[in-house]
Copies of this chain bind each other. A is one copy, B any other.
Amino acid sequence: MSKEIPYKIYLEESEMPKEWYNVRADMKNKPAPLLNPGTGKPMTAEELGGVFCDELVKQELDNDTAYIPIPDEIRNFYKMYRPSPLVRAYCLEEKLQTPAKIYYKFEGNNTSGSHKLNSAIAQAYYAKKQGLKGVTTETGAGQWGTALSMACSYLGLDCKVYMVKVSYEQKPFRREVMRTYGASVTPSPSMETEVGRKILEEFPGTNGSLGCAISEAVEVAVKSEGYRYVLGSVLNQVLLHQSVIGLETMAALKKYDIKPDIIIGCAGGGSNLGGLISPFMGEKLRGEADYRIIAVEPASCPSFTRGKYAYDFCDTGKVCPLAKMYTLGSGFIPAPNHAGGLRYHGMSSILSQLYDDGLMEARSVRQTDVFAAAEEFARVEGILPAPESSHAIRAAIDEALKCKETGEEKTIVFGLTGTGYFDMYAYEAFHDGKMTNYIPSDEEIAASLAKLPKVEG
């Protein structure tokens, strides 16, 4: 009955998902629609089509179709780096001396170093299919920009990346990886766009922000013939593509008759968390199974745990539609000492609705505790985790230690979204005892939330 469980469960290529799973189809309370900030009305396909590819607009707005076929070209690309392994953390379990059984779905075995590639190739594919010349995007820590560069290089599509200036300068290696894949990388704010010039005039020495880079990328996409804008998180389409993570995880678990009790993912905009939990949440929504699902976010950018469920702008420049989500306010900028991604002020509308409906939990963790978990994990499991992923490691270790106290043999599954090769400055600060924790005050968050746009809905 119970087969011996290997260290790494690999699916056969023939067992890889042939369809993405759209969790919205099983949600009783659908995620709130994007609103046009001008009219306050839901964005139409036509309005969205000026910014996004047509097929992606369709996916963005589709709340009903549960399974959407993955085109063969995308499946073939997936085969270059997928199926990703579901790893039994035998060594971590032994180190912790816990009766819990810990598994992680490892998405870092590709050059972009993270799960971002799953959606990057899909978005690039649809852009190519529509006959476009290229795409524009922004990147902060650089995982998304790298993934998109890879995907565009593979398809022969032009790729313009607006990289937050401070990251452009502090992470030259990320920039060079993107250049290896032939992308043009511009530090943002730049003089190339209206919004960039305006910001530089107003704040001459600014280091840039994700919100500004989004605004620049959108402006260039809208104004350039044959270009569209693409985004690596938050959107419904992104969660759809990322469902490949959860579907593979579920297939691998079922292959060995493993039933998870707790599923844990880190949460910034929700791309990984949403993808990982989708099929499990589907079973939960359909009443077929129950799972504890835990979103883990940084204490320095706690949208779920300290934000408000409200309509807000997706970008700081306020050129994007409004989304209903758990948000800290589009003007909220996490402390500069905060390493890695998960810096987004808001959260996927899908996840926000699920959380609001009490279908999942959320917790925030402090940066130094995250890096302590990262190091503990690296030393026994041999993978150097990204700071983002390490938020999930922290929570998984904490849950496993609870099992040690209670003696419960719970099965914990968490998402290990990527590797930390380009985050060694943060590891260095941690080793040297120079890493600090920043937790925003109630006043700071309240001030930011006070500026939320006034929207009915």
Contact = CB atoms under 8 A, between A and B. Distances in A.
B153 A81 contact: no
Interface in A171-214: 172-173, 176-177, 179-182
Interface residues of A, number: 42
B154 A382 contact: yes
A422 B176 CA distance: 11
Interface of A (DSSP majority class): helix
Interface stretch (A270-278, A280-288, A401-409, A423-431): A423-431
A109 interface: yes
A378 interface: yes
A19 interface: no
Contacts of A179: 427-428, 431
A451 interface: no
A293 to B, nearest CB: 27
4 interchain residue pairs of minimum CB distance: A173-B424, A7-B79, A421-B421, A176-B424
B111 A109 contact: no
Interface string A140-163: 000000000010011000000000
A131 B287 CA distance: 56
A431 B173 CA distance: 12
Given A173-B421, A421-B422, A424-B177, A8 B383 contact: no
Nearest to A383: B111
A210 to B, nearest CB: 23
A110 interface: yes
Nearest to A113: B421
Contact of A382 (B150, B182, B431): B150
